């Protein structure tokens, strides 16, 4: 299987006109019984009130456990919080029969999920579970109620496309599983053909964060100041980042906002490499056990994120994605990390977005001792990097 992921933003329009024509006895494009067919929908055949006919409760989805065996692959997350993403994958190794994608859907936003066969002979099945394991969509039936609202569009049975819409009232952390109906019907123990390939797309109908827009921790205390620097508070919500220690977590308000903004956008992109480990921000030799040549003006931070910050990892995509998030803030001066392949992509990306002079003339560069973490610097209070 080609485990490298290509997450590219693409233009997608919501499909309209699915199902029957209004008044024909079939569902309209939203899957709601037509206004002219209430009697058939609710069992009232004479147009009046019939107290003897009880409403039939909706059929709940069948509980699914797609990762019940070791044949479930944890794939990179589906895109960011808003916008569109697409993943092209395959089952070529024969080791996996289910691919598990993390997905975050903001409150009130519709996630349009589509699994389309691009190679091989198989019927796609799309399953959605909440992060606590609750089955929201079993491939055919969605949960009843309106939080989240699940609108089945195509099951994929006897077809090459499976599609479902999910709209939560509150922020939703979910897992989207790409597999085939032969696997589902076989209790997730059977295999898919090794020539099976697919495209999994996710369109979240909201605008992606605008580059240069910063977020601030909701629990930030502007009165918690020492030597002119502010303290980065514990992660809120939990799971965005961890702290080395309170004594090592002081910096400018700009640095704190950059860390929080990047951590918030990083978690849905690569949950396997979350939370970000925030190491030294300020230099405190006694409390933090370090002696930096920098970290003395509140604009520096060391960040660890597994393979996303390790030069030894063979897949550069996580490191590139993380570095680009810092670039997108519009106030990052540079990153020290010794992966030259990552540097080439990130430096070109920086040059395409901003015109200000980066730290020491190059946004991402090598310095001895930076093989396993990102050393990030943001702009000084006067707006300069040098």
Same domain as 255, residue 126: no
pLDDT at 124: 98
User: Which of 176, 206, 236 marks a domain boundary?
Assistant: 206
pLDDT of residue 361 exceeding 60, the answer is yes
Give the residues across from 178 on adjacent strands.
99, 126
Give the residues across from 378 on adjacent strands.
332
pLDDT of residue 357 exceeding 80, the answer is yes
Residues 298 and 300: their CA atoms lie apart, in Å, by 6
The answer to whether the predicted template modeling score (pTM) of the entire model surpasses 0.95 is no
pLDDT of residue 152 exceeding 50, the answer is yes
Pairing of strands 172-180, 124-130: antiparallel
In a domain, 211, yes or no: no
- For residue 122, cis peptide bond before it (omega within 30 degrees of 0): no
Please tell me which residue, 19 or 246, carries the higher pLDDT value. Answer: 246
In a domain, 359, yes or no: yes
**86-102 per-position pLDDT tens digit:** 888 999 999 999 999 88
Same domain as 243, residue 169: no
Structure token digits, residue 66: 């797609």
In a domain, 383, yes or no: no
pLDDT at 17: 34
In a domain, 337, yes or no: yes
pLDDT at 271: 82
Residues 312 and 323: their CA atoms lie apart, in Å, by 16
Please tell me which residue, 305 or 76, carries the higher pLDDT value. Answer: 305
Residue 328 to residues 300, 323, 350, 353: CA-CA distances in angstroms? Answer: 17, 9, 8, 8
Same domain as 168, residue 262: no
The count of domains in the chain is 2
Average the pLDDT over 298-322 and give the result. Answer: 93
Same domain as 266, residue 200: no
Same domain as 153, residue 24: yes
Same domain as 324, residue 248: yes
Q: How confident is the model at residue 164 (pLDDT cuts 50, 70, 90)?
A: very high
Edge to edge, the sheet with strand 229-231 lists 225-226, 229-231, 250-251
* Range(s) of the domain holding residue 57: 1-206
Opening angle at CA 166, ends 163 and 170, nearest 5? 165
- What is the average pLDDT value for the chain, to the nearest integer? 84
pLDDT of residue 3 exceeding 60, the answer is no
Same domain as 235, residue 182: no
Q: Half-sphere exposure of 151 toward its Cβ, with a 13 Å CA cutoff? A: 21
pLDDT at 205: 84
Same domain as 198, residue 250: no
Specify the 3-state DSSP secondary structure of 237: coil
In a domain, 219, yes or no: no
pLDDT at 239: 86
Same domain as 144, residue 65: yes
- CATH code assigned at 178: 2.60.120.380
Q: Which of 23-37, 48-62, 81-95, 252-266 has the lowest mean pLDDT?
A: 23-37
User: Which of 206, 238, 258 marks a domain boundary?
Assistant: 206
């Amino acid at each position: 299987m080609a485990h490298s992921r290509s997450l590219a933003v693409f233009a997608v329009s919501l499909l309209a006109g699915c199902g029957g024509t209004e008044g024909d006895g079939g569902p309209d494009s939203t899957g709601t019984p037509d206004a002219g067919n209430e009697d058939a929908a609710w069992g009232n055949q004479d147009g009046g009130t019939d107290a003897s006919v009880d409403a039939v409760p909706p059929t709940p989805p069948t509980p699914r456990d797609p990762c019940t065996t070791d044949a479930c692959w944890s794939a990179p997350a589906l895109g960011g919080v808003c916008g569109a993403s697409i993943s092209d994958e395959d089952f070529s190794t024969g080791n996996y029969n289910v691919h598990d994608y993390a997905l975050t859907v903001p409150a009130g936003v519709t996630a349009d999920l589509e699994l389309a066969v691009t190679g091989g002979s198989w019927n796609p099945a799309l399953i959605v579970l909440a992060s606590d394991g609750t089955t929201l969509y079993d491939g055919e039936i969605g949960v009843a109620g309106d939080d989240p609202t699940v609108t089945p569009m195509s099951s994929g049975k006897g077809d090459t496309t499976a599609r479902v819409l999910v709209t939560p009232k509150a922020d939703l952390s979910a897992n989207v599983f790409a597999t085939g109906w032969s696997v589902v019907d076989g209790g997730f123990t059977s295999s898919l053909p090794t020539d099976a390939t697919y495209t999994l797309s996710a369109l979240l109908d909201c605008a992606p964060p605008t580059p240069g827009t910063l977020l601030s921790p909701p629990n930030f205390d502007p009165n918690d100041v020492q030597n002119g620097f502010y303290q980065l508070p514990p992660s809120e919500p939990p799971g965005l980042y961890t702290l080395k220690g309170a004594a090592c977590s002081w910096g400018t308000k700009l640095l704190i906002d950059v860390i929080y903004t990047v951590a918030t956008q990083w978690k849905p992109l690569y949950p396997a490499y979350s939370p970000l480990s925030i190491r030294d921000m300020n230099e405190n030799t006694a409390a933090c056990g370090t002696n930096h040549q920098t970290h003395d003006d509140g604009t520096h931070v060391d960040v660890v994120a597994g393979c996303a910050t390790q030069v030894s990892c063979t897949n550069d995509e996580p490191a590139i994605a993380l570095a680009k998030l810092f670039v997108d803030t519009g106030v990052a001066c540079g990153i020290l990390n010794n992966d030259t392949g990552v540097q080439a992509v990130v430096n070109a990306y920086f040059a395409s977005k901003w015109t200000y002079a980066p730290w020491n003339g190059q946004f991402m560069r090598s310095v001895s001792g930076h093989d396993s973490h990102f050393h990030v610097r943001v702009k000084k209070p006067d707006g300069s990097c040098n």
